[in-house]
Every structure is written in structure tokens, then in C-alpha cells.
A = this chain, B = another copy of it.
Amino acid sequence: MKTKENIKTLVIKKPLKLDCGKTINNFPLAYETYGSLNKSKDNAILVFHALTGDQFVTGINPVTKKDGWWSYAVGPNKSIDTNKYFVICANVIGGCMGSFGPSHKNPDTNKIYGTDFPVITINDMVNAQVNLLDHFEIKKLFSVVGGSMGGMQVLQFISNYPDKASTVVPIACTSSHSAQNIAFNELGRQAIASDHNWSDGKYLSNNTLPDKGLSVARMAAHITYLSKKGLQEKFGRKLQERDALKFGFDADFQIESYLRYQGSVFVDRFDANSYLYITRAMDYFDLVKQFDGNLSNAFKKTKAKFFVISFTSDWLYPTQENKDIVIALNAIGADVGFVEIKSDKGHDSFLLDVPDFLKTLKNFLDKSYLER
């Protein structure tokens, strides 16, 4: 993990009762903003990040020195146009980019939390982030937008705060984490827990890092973010800097080198315990169950305009799971648009240069903004 600089932090003084029963207060919420809040304070968009994202949505991330995770979509004249909108994004609680998480010290014991950190939920995440509205004195957001786990936060946010956003854009997500997705997350957690250096989560106190386990977890997740067809087209059976198979266990194929690289760069920017906590939050997400089996009830108090986006080759959060949200909204006559974008880039499509998606998102936001 690199040292954290240039991180804006809001200290949330108000007690927050977590779903696990514990109450936290005076905890840090790290955030970033882009663009300017207008006088009427009606141009703010709260963007929620996905599992391994952070508050640095666009431009150069000051910690990793790489492009922000949504640089294709957010910026001047882009889909989420920072010439027009005031974009806010916070690191989720449980995360590792400055917000309250398992790598922080427990003020009661002065020891790093590790797995003594409370298990948090998507609900807890949005209940922490809603404090940003008070901070910026925003009564109502123009929009809440996010993909993957960001989309789950979008759904939970509008369910909890039906009057606090005019438009709602859940992308490539689900209202209830599937068995297969829980399985892949559990695989990642087991990979981390299997690492000798994880030491039951006490690695920071021990000055060790479970890099190997975290790297395997990332490799597993990364495969699920791409489509079979996309992988075949990009890598196929191409060999890595060699003319023939080497008959060994080095990376013969480009796909092997690529995955190893993805694993190795990830451990430089992410904390293993945060990976455990955030995947747990995703697995616990079940908005359907929160509303006793009727998803429509999650949305019946809001007048917001919804726009749901899925991708053809996303097998992690397939179109049907996104459509289930649309069906629940239609059942209560909500204002909802839906589009399935054709893309071979799998679940990662929402993060990548997929022009149809980027145009569609821009059109929805800009048109809704004019009509507000």
C-alpha cells in the first residue's frame, strides 16, 4: 500500500448505527469532487464506486498516479460532464483510500482493527455517504450514478432517501447478490485467508502483507469482469514473448502474464482486509429481502426518474438481473428507462471505452438536466 496524500476527509460526527448493531461516530469519510456546485445547488451527482474503486473518479489518482477509474465517463464534456455537473465521490467505509476501514486504528485499543472492524453493508455505506449532502448543503442531488457495487449503492440510496435525488442510474448491477457472485467473492476471501501472511487479519501489526493471496483473489475477480469472447479476441492462445511453448510453468500464454500482472499491480493499491469487508458487503446485499420479497416497495416512495443500463456480455450481473429492477419499477408505474448495450467487454464494459454506453449515459443525464 502506498502512502496516502491529497486525500480530503470529512469527519462524520453524527453516530451511525450499522446493520451489525454497532454504532460508529467521529469516523473519516474520504471524498473527492470534480466540477463546481452551482448557486441553486441542483447540479450535484453522487457517484458510487465499485469493489476496488475509490473517490478518485477521473484525472490522475494522486495515490496510484494512474488514471481515475471512470476517466472515460467523467470529465469535461464527457458522459458525466464536469463542466456542467458537480461530481462527488466518496471512498466506501470498509475501504482503504482514507475512509474508515479495517486498516485504521481502533481508538479504544490503539491497535489496528483488522478483522475486529465491524462488518459493514451497502446500507451502511450509503448511510455514511449521505452526510456529504449536509456538508455541501445540497438538499437534493441531481443524480446518483454507479456501476456494479456502485449500482447497488445507487439502489440502496434512493430506497433510503427517496427525496434526495432527481435521477437514478444503476449500471450493470443487481438488487440481490446471486449465488455465483457470492461464490466468486468467497473464493477471493479464501485465497486471502489461505495466505500465510494474512495472520488472521493481523498482518499490518505484524509488518507482513498477504500479497500472494490478494493477488490470486484479484486474478479470480478479473476473469469474471471480462467475457469469454472478449478474452478470446484479445488473447486467444497467443504466446508471451516466445515462439513456442516452453514446457514449464512460466507464463507461456499472454493471458497468463496479463492475469499475473493484474494481480501484482492490485496489491500495491489495495488492502486485503478491505477486500474481505467489501466483498462481504456485496454478498449481504439483498434489497428484495429488505422489502420482504417485493422489490417494488424499495422504490414506491420516490418520484425519481430511473435509467437502468446493462451489457450483453456481462455474465456477472447479466441483463436479466438488471431487468428485474426495471420490472419492479414498472410494477409501480415509476419513471424508468432501460437499455442493454451491446459490448463484448463483459462486466468491465461500464469502465471502458464503450461509445454506445458513454453516449447513452450522457444523453440521459443531459436531457434530464434540461427538463429538471
Given contacts A190-B215, A216-B216, A315-B315, contact A247 B182 (CB under 8 A): no
Q: Is A169 an interface residue (CB 8 A)?
A: no
Query: Quick check: A219 and B187 within 8 Å, CB to CB?
Result: yes
Query: Quick check: B235 and A179 within 8 Å, CB to CB?
Result: yes
Query: Quick check: A213 and B194 within 8 Å, CB to CB?
Result: yes
Query: Quick check: A249 and B276 within 8 Å, CB to CB?
Result: yes
Query: Quick check: A280 and B249 within 8 Å, CB to CB?
Result: yes
A255 to chain B, nearest CB (A): 5
* A190 CB contact (under 8 Å) in B178, B196, B219: B219
Q: Which of A43-51, A129-137, A154-162, A256-264 contacts B (4 or more CB under 8 A)?
A: A256-264
Query: Quick check: B223 and A184 within 8 Å, CB to CB?
Result: yes
Query: Quick check: B115 and A183 within 8 Å, CB to CB?
Result: no
Query: Quick check: A119 and B216 within 8 Å, CB to CB?
Result: no
Chain A interface residue count, Cβ-Cβ cutoff 8 angstroms = 58
Q: Mark A271-310, 1 if CB is under 8 A from B, else 0.
A: 0000010001001101001000000000000000000000
Query: Quick check: B119 and A223 within 8 Å, CB to CB?
Result: no
A213 to chain B, nearest CB (A): 6
A115–B250 alpha-carbon span in the complex (Å): 12
Query: Quick check: A232 and B263 within 8 Å, CB to CB?
Result: no
A286–B194 alpha-carbon span in the complex (Å): 33
Q: Is A220 an interface residue (CB 8 A)?
A: yes
Among the interface residues A118, A179, A232, which one has the most CB atoms of the partner chain B within 10 A? A179
**A180-228 CB contacts (< 8 Å) to partner B:** 180, 182-184, 186-187, 189-191, 193-196, 212-213, 215-216, 219-220, 223, 226, 228
Query: Quick check: A253 and B182 within 8 Å, CB to CB?
Result: yes
A176–B238 alpha-carbon span in the complex (Å): 12
Query: Quick check: A20 and B249 within 8 Å, CB to CB?
Result: no
Query: Quick check: A179 and B236 within 8 Å, CB to CB?
Result: yes
Given contacts A189-B249, A289-B237, contact A180 B223 (CB under 8 A): yes
A252 cross-chain contacts in B, Cβ below 8 A: 283
Which residue on chain B has the smallest CB distance to residue A260? B190
Beyond the given A180-B228, A186-B260, A237-B286, please list 10 additional residue pairs across the A-B interface where CB-CB is below 8 A.
A20-B247, A115-B249, A179-B237, A179-B253, A187-B219, A187-B259, A194-B195, A194-B213, A194-B216, A195-B196
Q: Which of A's residues lie within 8 Å of B, judged by CB?
A: 19-21, 115, 118-119, 176-180, 182-184, 186-187, 189-191, 193-196, 212-213, 215-216, 219-220, 223, 226, 228, 231-232, 234-237, 245, 247-249, 251-253, 255-256, 259-260, 263, 276, 280, 283-284, 286, 289, 315, 318
10 contacts between A and B (CB under 8 A): A21-B247, A115-B249, A119-B248, A179-B231, A180-B223, A180-B232, A182-B255, A186-B256, A249-B276, A249-B280
